Structure 1
């Protein structure tokens, strides 16, 4: 019985994990205006203190956005990011993640 519960939990985790990253890059581009000041129009940050979003994995970006929104990330730039992410829906997070993950990281 214990093995069945573990396998069920793993299966559900894989199914819910695959739902991440299902965003629309075009919609993400249109929603990215609030990100530009720090992360640049294409996800290449304008200042070294802000991370590049370009080329990051969509699932990582989506998870990070939701963690800021939900107050689960509290270190570093969280005081700036939490208000930025506060009103984003799950779909907004997925769309932004899809957009920035498709951008090319520029070498400086």
Structure 2
């Protein structure tokens, strides 16, 4: 077997192994998603929308004493200013990855780094599931000429 064939075989084995471990989308049926469970490419546990909704208003969750909705607005649709992003309707994986990066120091922001510092993986998954499930008022460049 050549080195090239060995590399391909190794890559295939790793891919199969990665897909067979953990929380794959196939393990979450449409009934699970309807109950507010999400799976994540961020390596997080399933997120729960109802729990995330409570966490989004919890002022004791962070070191700053502010809740997510204090800055991002009700359901993540009414930010306090033009610099604060809308979270509603955003991909839950994007929110999860962002919160992980703020928590772990891989992404810096004067407020968000402190907000996320005390979050555990389940809380991040729940917040991401909640904000990602809200009807968003985000606009993209689709059909913009």
- The TM-score, its normalising length taken from structure 2, stands at 0.63
SS at match of 1:79: coil
- Which residue of structure 1 aligns with residue 7 of structure 2? 2
- Which residue of structure 2 aligns with residue 39 of structure 1? 72
Quick one: structure 1 residues 3 and 68, their matched pair in 2 at CA, closer, same or farther if it must change by over 3 Å? Answer: same
User: CA-to-partner distance for each residue in 1:62-85, whole Å, 9 max, x for gaps?
Assistant: 1111111011112xxx12111100
Instruction: Name whichever structure is richer in helix by fraction.
Output: 1
| Structure 1 stretches of at least 4 aligned residues deviating more than 3 Å after TM superposition | 8-11, 13-19
Supply the RMSD in Å over aligned alpha carbons. Answer: 2.2
Quick one: structure 1 residues 6 and 98, their matched pair in 2 at CA, closer, same or farther if it must change by over 3 Å? Answer: same
Residue segments in structure 1 that go unaligned for 5+ positions in a row: none
SS at match of 2:134: coil
Aligned residues: 104
Alignment match of 1:95 (pick from 120, 126, 144): 126
Residue segments in structure 2 that go unaligned for 5+ positions in a row: 1-5, 25-38, 58-66, 139-145
| Alpha-carbon separation, structure 1, partners of 2:19 and 2:74 | 33
| Alpha-carbon separation, structure 2, partners of 1:82 and 1:101 | 20
The CA deviation at 1:15 is 5.3
The CA deviation at 1:26 is 0.3
- Which residue of structure 2 aligns with residue 68 of structure 1? 102
Between 1 and 2, higher relative CO (CA 8 Å, sep ≥ 6) is seen in: 1
Structure index of larger Rg: 2
